[in-house]
Chains A and B, each alone.
Chain A
Amino acid sequence: MKHFEVSFIVDPVLSGDEVKSTAQTYKDMLVTEGASIVHVDEMGLRPLAYPINKRSTGVYYCIEFSAESGSFIAKVELALKRDERIMRFLTVSLDKYGVKYNEDKRNGKIGKKVRKEKPAKEPSGRPYQAPRAAAPVDAEVSTEVENPEV
């Protein structure tokens, strides 16, 4: 059993339902190919670090799934590539630590751990990061809010 993670950015110009149906298409595709979906992380609308296709924001999705073999991934990636609604995608295989990390993140263990370490590591670096870090911090908070529901 191998674990994989496919993240993609959906075009923000689409309406909310269209974005959801796009993500659902790929969820269904993975299921029909014989993968079992572990978790779907909707990271929501986030600013891009640089413009892609003249868009400055994107709707991020991350689907974690497990399968016996990764032979169908090429097929899924081809579909993602041909899809005009998808701006970017990335598939990675997860090792056992990656699986554990994602599990811990879902249970809300990771966010605190990282924050506890940061002051110890780079006390001087934090104030400079503060203005830019605003958006990602919001994203982190939103994932934490989602976690109790799961």
Chain B
Amino acid sequence: MATQDEIKFLSNPNIGKKQKKYCRFKKFGLKHIDYKDADFLIQFVNEQGKLLPRRLTGNSLKYQRRVASAVKRARHLAILPYLSDLLK
């Protein structure tokens, strides 16, 4: 039987807590985005192959623009699809 001190929360206190988004390029110091790296770029598109917004990825504006151009280059070279179903 747990004592009164041990019972602190009825539910997980982290639920509903906002986790701060960050720009991974700034945080890890990635200066260049390779358009040939499909595995990396796939993180920035949804399963239809559309670019994810900054709202979701947390990228800074500067790197979101670079991600967008890298994805578009990759699409041109058939490294990423222009449109697809169940990409992930």
Contact = CB atoms under 8 A, between A and B. Distances in A.
Interface residues of A, number: 31
Interface string B29-64: 001101111111011000000000000000000000
Given A101-B32, A121-B43, A129-B42, 15 more contacts: A7-B36, A9-B77, A9-B78, A48-B78, A49-B75, A49-B78, A60-B36, A62-B36, A92-B73, A95-B32, A114-B37, A121-B24, A129-B39, A133-B42, A137-B39
B76 interface: yes
B88 A128 contact: yes
A50 B37 contact: no
Interface in A99-143: 100-101, 105, 114, 117, 121-122, 125, 128-129, 132-133, 136-137, 140
Contacts of B88: 125, 128-129, 132
Instruction: Provide the main secondary structure of the chain B interface.
Output: loop
Most buried by A among B38, B78, B82: B78
Interface of A: 7, 9, 43, 48-50, 52, 58, 60, 62, 88, 90, 92, 95, 97-98, 100-101, 105, 114, 117, 121-122, 125, 128-129, 132-133, 136-137, 140
Contacts of B38: 136
A105 B42 CA distance: 19
A100 B34 CA distance: 12
